[in-house]
Structure 1
C-alpha cells in the first residue's frame, strides 16, 4: 500500500514538473506577452519576467517593444516643379500596445514599411526641389504625421522620420552647377564694379587735392620714380606731366582767308 502511494506521488510529481515546464514562460524586459486562449485574447498583456500559461490551450506571443530602425527604399517621383528625383528615408518607430500590434494588423513592420513608401512618394509629388534640398525638417514633420495617423490604430507610434538623401539626374546636377557658377560670377562682377566706383571717388578727391597744390603732383611723380627704380629695372619710364598738355588744349587757330570783295561797278 505504501509503495503504491509512493508511486502515485512520484507520478503526480513528475506530471506536475512536466506541467510547470510546459506552462512556464519567460518574458524579457524589452518584450510584452500577449496570450491567446483558444484563439481569443485572454487577460491583460503579460509583463516582463516569469509567467504561466495553460498548456495546449494558451499561446503566448512575445512582442518587441524596442524602437525599430527601418530604412525606406529609395522612391522615384516627380516634384511639383517637374524634376525627377530619388529620395530615401529612415523611420524610427516602436510598439506602444502589444495587443493591438498583434491583433489589428497581420505584420505591423511590413505595414509601416508600405505606409512609409507611399507617404514618401506623396511628399515628393507635393514638394518643390528647393524644399527637398533645403527644407527637410518641415518635410520630415509632414512625413511623420502621414505615417503616424494610421499607425496609431495598429498600436505603433512613429518616433521620428528622416529623409536621408535626394538623388538628382546628372543633367540636373550640371544645370545647377552652371547656375551656381553664373551666380558667383555675377556677384564677383558686382563686387568689382563697386570697388571701381569707390576707387574712382577716392581718385577724384586726390585729384582735387593735387590740383590745389601743384607741388603735390611733383612729389607724387618722384614717388612713382622711386617705386619703379626699386624693382632693379634697366628701363625707367617717366610719366609725362599732364600740365604741359594744357597749352595745347586751346591752340590758336588761323582765321580763314577772306576774299576781298570788289565793289560792283555801277
Structure 2
C-alpha cells in the first residue's frame, strides 16, 4: 500500500478507513475535516479523501560520494525509518514526503561529513546516526513526519585510501605483536632473575632442583647418568677423611 492514496468520490459512494491510516476529507478542494477509522457514505458530490499510511516507512539512500573536510570522497549509504505524525501538515507542506525526506537526508549527510576529516569520520562511525537524527528531526517535523531511527549503513573508501588504511592496520598489528613478544621476554627474564636470587639466598633450593632434574632424567628408559665428574677431588678428600 502506498504512503498516500487519494479517493475521488461520487455522491452516495461508500468507503472505509482502516485504523492504520489517517484520512483527510476535502470538498471542491477545500479541507473539511479529518476522518477517523471506520466506514463512511457521502451523499454529496465533489468530495476527495486523502489517506496517509501511519505505519513505519523506510528511506534508503544509495551510496553517494561525499567530501570530507580533508577532501576525501567517501561513498556512504544510509537507512532511515519514519512515520507520518501529522497528515494535514504533511499534505500542506509537500507533495511527496518520502522523496523530500530523501533529499533532506542527503543534505544532512553532506553537512555532517563535510565538517570532519575522513579519519575522524571513520573512527566515530557508530555515533553518526545520532547526529543525523538530531539534524533531521526538525526538518521532518516541518513535513509532518517523525523520524524513528537513522543509521549509516555502508562506507566505501577510495581504492588508494583503502590500501593506505590496510597498510597502516598491518603495521599496527605487527607493532602490537612485537610489543607483546617484548613483554613476554621481559616477564621471562624477570622470572629467571627472581629464581636466581632465591637460589643464591637459599642454596638448598638449588640442590632440590638438581635432584628433581635427576629424577626427571632417570625416569626415561635405557638412561645412563654420569655424575660428579667435576667434583671428583672433593669426593676423594671426603673419602680419605672418613666422611
* TM, length-normalised to structure 1: 0.68
Q: Which residue of 2 aligns with 1:135?
A: 124
Once the two structures are superposed, what CA deviation does each residue of 1:64-94 show, in whole Å capped at 9, x if it has no partner?
1111111112221122344321111111111
Q: Which residue of 1 aligns with 2:174?
A: 185
In 2, the alpha carbon distance for the partners of 1:19 and 1:87 equals 51
Q: Is the 8 A contact 1:77 1:124 kept in 2?
A: yes
Q: Which residue of 2 aligns with 1:34?
A: 24
Match of 2:83 among 91, 94, 104: 94
Query: Number of aligned pairs?
Result: 220
Q: Is the 8 A contact 2:11 2:42 kept in 1?
A: no
Once the two structures are superposed, what CA deviation does each residue of 1:179-201 show, in whole Å capped at 9, x if it has no partner?
22222222222222233223223
Q: Please give the root-mean-square deviation of Cα atoms over the aligned residues, in Å.
A: 3.3
User: Which aligned pairs between 1:93-242 and structure 2 lie closer than 5 A?
Assistant: 93-210=82-199
In 2, the alpha carbon distance for the partners of 1:173 and 1:211 equals 57
Q: Is the 8 A contact 2:199 2:205 kept in 1?
A: yes
Q: Is the 8 A contact 1:33 1:45 kept in 2?
A: yes
In 2, the alpha carbon distance for the partners of 1:215 and 1:99 equals 94
Q: Report the CA distance between 1:221 and its aligned residue.
A: 7.0
In 2, the alpha carbon distance for the partners of 1:104 and 1:213 equals 90
Q: Is the 8 A contact 1:132 1:166 kept in 2?
A: no
Q: Which has the higher strand share?
A: 2
Specify whether residues 54 and 145 from structure 1 end up closer, same or farther in structure 2 by C-alpha distance, changes over 3 A only. Answer: farther
In 2, the alpha carbon distance for the partners of 1:120 and 1:213 equals 71
Q: Is the 8 A contact 2:67 2:114 kept in 1?
A: yes
In 2, the alpha carbon distance for the partners of 1:212 and 1:95 equals 82
Q: Report the CA distance between 1:58 and its aligned residue.
A: 1.6
Check if 1:83 corresponds to 2:80: no
Q: Report the CA distance between 1:225 and its aligned residue.
A: 7.9
In 1, the alpha carbon distance for the partners of 2:205 and 2:22 equals 94
Q: Which residue of 1 aligns with 2:6?
A: none
